[in-house]
Structure 1
C-alpha cells in the first residue's frame, strides 16, 4: 500500500426506504428495466444508481403485498443455493426480498437427486413456506406439461451452466423456451450468457432481439455493476461531467483452488477470459463505453511455454487435449468508440484461495481505482488539486442482493423516487461483453499461431 494514500473514514452509505411507494409510469418502467440499455448512455442517470440506495439486506423490509410471487428456478447448483467457495446464493436473497410471498413452484435440473437434496434442506428450515410445494423436473418442458394455472411463474431465474443457454438451438435455448411458455414473465439470466463456440455469438444477439421485442423484464447477473463502489465511481464521473480516457483491468485468480476440470478445458468452459474474466471485461465496458472490436489485440502465455509451468494444479491436465488447455496469462488492449483505450490482463498465477483484482478508470485530473471488488471493495480516488488518494470502504455491501432487489422492484413496478431501481445489465448489453471476451480469446490465439508459424519458418530457413 503506497504511503501517499490518505485514508478517509469509511463511507457508510445508508438510506431509508420511503414509507409509500408510487406506481411507476410505463415510460419510467421502460427507462428502468434495462430493455436495450447499453453502456453508452453518456451522462444519463439511467445507466446508474445512487449508491446510497444500495441498501444491505438487514436494512430492508420485505416487498409488501399478500399475493404469491411465483418463481421457477432453473439450475440446482452453487449459484442458486450457495457453497463454501463463494458468496453466491440467489435463493437466499430471494427469500429475504420477498419473504412469505416467495413461492418456488418448480426447480428445473436434470440432476434430480441433487435438486431433491437441496430442496429438502430448504424444507427443513424456516423458509419452508417458499419450498413446501416445489416440484422438481428435468426440463422446463416437463414442468409446462404438468403445470397448473395456479403455478404459472411471474419470474424465472436461470442459473444453469452457460453452455446450455444463449442460443436458438433446442436444448440450449432456455430463454426462448421461457418466452414461448410464459410470455410476459420476467427473466434473470446468469453470466456469461453462453460459453459456446465463437460462431454462435450471432445467435446470442438474436436471442437479445427476441427479448427486447417481447418487452420482457430481463436482467443479467453482472453483479459487480451493483457494487456501491462502482456506483460511486459512476457518480463521480457523471457529476463532474468527465470523459473516460482509459480503463485498466487486472484479474489474478488463485488457480490452486480451482478443482473443476471443465474450467481448465477450453472446449467446455470457453477459457478463462470468456468464463471468468467476463466480469472485468463487462466493468471495463460499463465505464469505457462500446468497444471497437476490430481494434482488439492480445497475447497469451501458454501451458507449453517455458514460463507457463504451474506447480500446484488441483487437476490432472494431461487428461485434457493439448489444444484445449487454457493459457496462464492473457493480456489484451483495445480502443473504445469514444477514442479511449482499454486494457485487461488475466493471470492464473496465484496459489492459496484469495484472488487479486483491480480496475482503474482514468479521466482528466481523476484516477478511480477499485481494489478487491469480490470480497472487501476499496476505492481510491485522486482528484485535481490533490496528489493524494482518498480511500473509501464499503462494509456489508452485497451486490448479489442489490441486483436481485432492483430486478424485483422493476417487476413489482415500484417507483419510490425518480432515481429508484434500475436494471444495469440488459441481455443485449451482456451480448456485447460476451463478444468482447471472445474477441480477446481469438486475438490471443491468432497471435500465438502467428508466432508458431514464424518460428517454424525461421527453423526451415536455417535448415
Structure 2
C-alpha cells in the first residue's frame, strides 16, 4: 500500500488571515465622525462611480470618507483626465452640505500635474485610487500610479481599488514588485476587497479561529445580472480582462481568505463561450457585434483547485441572470461545520451548521456596510489610534491582492487551455475521419 504524504508543516495556519472582531464592525449610521480639529487632506484619483457612487451599486468612497472624517475632510485634488466629468461631480459636492470638504478642491488631468503644483499645505495624508484597473498595477509609465505616489509622497497612505490591474498576464510579476516595495517602505496600503470586511465574513472567521478548524473546502458561486451591465468595456476581454478577473475576483479573494494559498499549478477550468448554443444571451444592454469575436467574454467559467493545505476549492461565475439583482453564495466546510454566506452584496445572510445539530442557525445582517468598515479601518491606522490595535486592521494588503489577481488569471488561462485542447481534439478527430 502506498504511503501517505506527511502533513505540510504549518498547513493548519496557512489559511489564517488577519481578522477583526465582528462586534467592532459598526454601521455608519451608528458612528460619529472621528475626533480632532486638524484638516485631513485627501487626493482622489478617479472621478467615476467607485469614488462618487452610481445607481448601479453601493460603492461610493467619498460618501464614507465624509462620514468618517466629518469637517476634517479636505479633498485637495481630484485627478481624472476626463475634466468635464470631474468638474460635474465636484460641483454636486459643492452644492451640498459637504461643501467644506470640496470648496478648495483642484482638478488635474494627471498625478504628475498635481505634484508639479502641490503646495506643502496641500500635502495629502491619503491617496484614494479609484481609476480603472487598466491604468494601474504595473511599472510602465502611465500605469504606475502606486510607484509614483511612493516616489513623490513617501509615507502617504494609499487605498487602491480592486482588482489591482487588468493588464496582460505577463505583467503579474510587476504587481508583486510593487507589493514588495509597498511592504518594504512600510506604507499603509489597503486594497478594496470589501467582502472581507463584511460582519458575516468576520463571524465566519471567528467560528473557524475559536474552534481551531482546518478548512476542507470552499465553494463559491457568482451569477451576475447581465441585463444591467451597460459598459461595453466590461464585455471586452481586451479591456476588462474578463468577468472572473474583473468581477469574480471578490469571490476568488474570499476563497483565498478562508482556504489559504492556492496551488496555482492545480487550477483547472472550463468555460461556456458566446458562440456556443447555450451561450446565447437575449437581453444584452450593449451591441456585442462591435467587440472583436476573440475578445468577447465567456458566459460561464467553472474552476477547481487545490490549496497548499490540501483543501479543495471550486468557483463558478455565470453571466445569465436578467433584471438587477445578482445571486451569489459562498460556502466553507470544515470537520463538523458548514458556513454558508448568501447574498453578500445586498442583504447578507449567514447559515451555520455545527456539530451535534443537523439544523442551521440563520443570521441576517440588514444594516452592514463593508465599504464603510474598510475605509474606517484604513483611516484609523493612518490616525494611529492605539486604544485597541485589533480594531483597526488592514484585511487586504497589496501583496495579498496581487496573489488574488494571479489566481484569477490562472482560472482564465486554464479555461482557455481547455478550449484549445477541445479544439485540437476535434480537429484531430476530423482529420482521422477524413483520412479513413
Taking structure 1 as the reference length, the TM-score comes to: 0.90
Q: How does 1:66-77 map to 2 (within 5 A)?
A: 66-77=37-48
Residues 50-199 of structure 1 correspond to what in structure 2 (within 5 A)? 50-199=21-170
* Residues in 2 aligned to 1:284 and 1:273: alpha-carbon distance in whole angstroms: 13
Partner deviation per Cα, 1:214-237 (whole Å, 9 max, x = no partner): 111000000000000000000000
Is the Cα contact below 8 Å between 1:358 and 1:371 reproduced in 2?
A: yes
| Cα offsets for 1:401-434 (capped at 9, x unmatched) | 0000000000000022243211000000000000
CA distance in 1 between counterparts of 2:283 and 2:386 reads 51
What aligned pairs does 1:6-405 form with structure 2 within 5 A after superposition? 42=13, 47-405=18-376
User: What is the deviation of 1:65?
Assistant: 0.9
SS at match of 2:219: strand
Task: Give the SS at the match of 1:397.
Answer: coil
Deviates more, 1:272-281 or 1:58-67: 58-67
* Offset of residue 63 of structure 1: 1.1
Structure 1 residue 333: deviation in Å?
0.3
Could you give the per-residue CA deviations for residues 268-310 of structure 1, whole angstroms, max 9, x where no partner exists? 1000000000000000000000000000000000011121111
SS in 2 for 1:419: helix
Whether the 8 Å contact between 1:329 and 1:345 is mirrored in structure 2 is yes
CA RMSD of aligned residues (A): 1.3
C-alpha displacement at 1:45, in angstroms?
8.2
**TM superposition shift of 1:42:** 2.9
The separation in 1 between residues aligned to 2:209 and 2:298, in whole angstroms, is 37
Q: Distance in 2 between matches of 1:165 and 1:280?
A: 21
Match of 1:12 in 2: none
Deviations 1:115-172 (A, max 9, x none): 0110011011100000000000000110111111100111000000000000000000
1:339-389 Cα shifts (integer Å, max 9, x gaps):
000000000010111100000000000000000000000000000011111
Distance 1:225 1:184 in 2: 25
In structure 1, the gaps of 5 or more residues are 1-39
SS in 1 for 2:391: coil
Q: Which residue is 2:3 aligned to?
A: none
Equivalent residues, number: 425
Give CA-to-partner distance per residue, 1:251-276, whole Å, 9 cap, x none: 00011111111111100100000000
* Partners of 2:25 and 2:373 within 8 A in 1: yes
Mark the CA change 1:418 to 1:156 in structure 2 (over 3 Å): closer, same or farther: closer
SS at match of 1:203: helix
Residue 408 of structure 1: aligned partner = 379
Aligned 8 A contact 2:80 2:107 in 1: yes
- The answer (yes or no) to whether the contact 1:79–1:89 under 8 Å persists in 2 is yes
Contact 1:368–1:380 under 8 Å retained in 2 = yes
Cα distance, 1:172–1:418 mapped onto 2, change above 3 Å? closer
SS in 1 for 2:325: coil
Worse-matched range after superposition: 42-51 or 272-281: 42-51
Structure 1's 385 and 41: CA in aligned 2 closer, same or farther, altered over 3 A? closer
1:43–1:238: 8 Å Cα contact kept in structure 2? no
Structure 2 unaligned residues grouped into runs of 5+: 1-10
> How many angstroms apart in 2 are the aligned matches of 1:85 and 1:451?
37
Higher relative contact order (CA 8 A, sep 6+): 1
SS in 2 for 1:414: coil
Q: 1:41 to 1:146 in 2, by over 3 A?
A: farther
- The CA distance in 1 between the partners of 2:295 and 2:301, in whole Å, is 15
- 2: CA distance between counterparts of 1:231 and 1:43? 17
- Quick one: distance in 1 between partners of 2:68 and 2:154? 24
CA distance in 2 between counterparts of 1:458 and 1:367 reads 45
**Distance in 2 (alpha carbons) for counterparts of 1:170 and 1:299:** 35
CA spacing shift, 1:418–1:267, aligned 2, 3 Å: closer
Q: Is the 8 A contact 2:377 2:393 kept in 1?
A: yes
Preserved CA contact (<8 Å) 1:46 1:422: no
- Give the Cα separation in 1 of the matches to 2:12 and 2:385: 23
* Local SS of the residue matching 1:330: strand
TM-score, normalised to structure 2, is 0.96
